[in-house]
Structure 1
Amino acid sequence: MTHEKTVEIRWRDLDAYHHVNNAVYATYLEECRDEWLTATLGDASDPWDWVLARVAIDYRRELTQDDDVAVVRCALARIGTSSITLREEIRTSGGDLSAEAEAVVVARDRATGRSRPMTEAEREALAAALEPS
């Protein structure tokens, strides 16, 4: 299941070069990822029990205020023992690829602050969202 979120490009997102600052791309990806995680896990888990462990972004095309919006997509690529790997991308409204990313999100034990194995309910909810290879 791919989740899509349209994010308005705000004036404050721009840097001195008049394009969206590279760090803002991470925020756009996070907004989509958080919505995806909440929708996918449903009642199986609290999204606050998951933390970002890794994100890698390949920038392909700048975004500017003239693009108006960024279209962000997120899909599950892999399920591990205590983590999931997500494929993410940012495109213009016209479909031009602006960035590709991979994120690893880990199930976290609130009491210890350490990673934990996924529950069966979490694993089932995630398996239902797994994109075919």
Structure 2
Amino acid sequence: MDGYRFTETIPLRLRDIDQMNHVNNAVYATFLEQARAAYFRDVVGEPLDSVGMVIADLTVTFERAITLDAGEVVVGARVAELGTSSVPMEYEIRADGERAATGETTMVHVDRATGTAEPLPDEWRETIASFESLES
């Protein structure tokens, strides 16, 4: 997938399909979540559920319907820049080799006890910057 060094393949499930016989629009956000969790696990080396990250923004742009016949989707995920406490991510969802949607999320690193934003750990910043070839 051009421009994405990280991809996650996600099998489609019957429960993903709505009465219009295509993947329900809410499921696309779940695809982004699954790719984001895999990115943190595989690239950052941290399971997403063990770190204090919250979603501050989520956008999905739908381009075409996905049906169960596709069998799976491939989600590209990347970080194009890093904020002080935020990790903006970009996504592309493909089915049958064709782009079906794009998405963006912004995660903010927070102190779990207080819920306030705190700077990203230097180790994460260095790991992500190296993987994505970002200037640190």
- What's the TM-score, normalizing by structure 1? 0.89
Give the equivalent residue in structure 2 for 1:110.
112
In structure 1, distance between residues paired with 2:50 and 2:39: 10
Structure 2 residue identity aligned to 1:96? E
Structure 2 residue identity aligned to 1:77? A
Query: Quick one: which of 30, 33, 36 aligns to 2:33?
Result: 30
Structure ranking higher on relative contact order (CA contacts 8 Å, 6+ apart): 1
Give the equivalent residue in structure 2 for 1:69.
72
What is the percent sequence identity of the aligned residues?
36
In structure 2, distance between residues paired with 1:122 and 1:11: 36
Structure 2 residue identity aligned to 1:112? T
1:77–1:131: 8 Å Cα contact kept in structure 2? no
Gaps of 5+ in 1: none
In structure 2, distance between residues paired with 1:39 and 1:50: 16
Once the two structures are superposed, the pairs formed by residues 11-50 of structure 1 within 5 Å of their partners are 11-42=14-45, 47-50=50-53
1:38–1:46: 8 Å Cα contact kept in structure 2? no
List, as ranges, runs of 4+ consecutive aligned residues in structure 1 with deviation greater than 3 Å: none
Deviation at 1:31, TM superposition (A): 0.4
1:51–1:105: 8 Å Cα contact kept in structure 2? yes
Count residues in correspondence.
Answer: 131
Question: Once the two structures are superposed, what CA deviation does each residue of 1:53-81 show, in whole Å capped at 9, x if it has no partner?
Answer: 11111000100011111111101111011
In structure 1, distance between residues paired with 2:49 and 2:30: 21
SS at match of 1:81: coil
RMSD of aligned alpha carbons: 2.0
2:77–2:92: 8 Å Cα contact kept in structure 1? yes
In structure 2, distance between residues paired with 1:8 and 1:69: 4
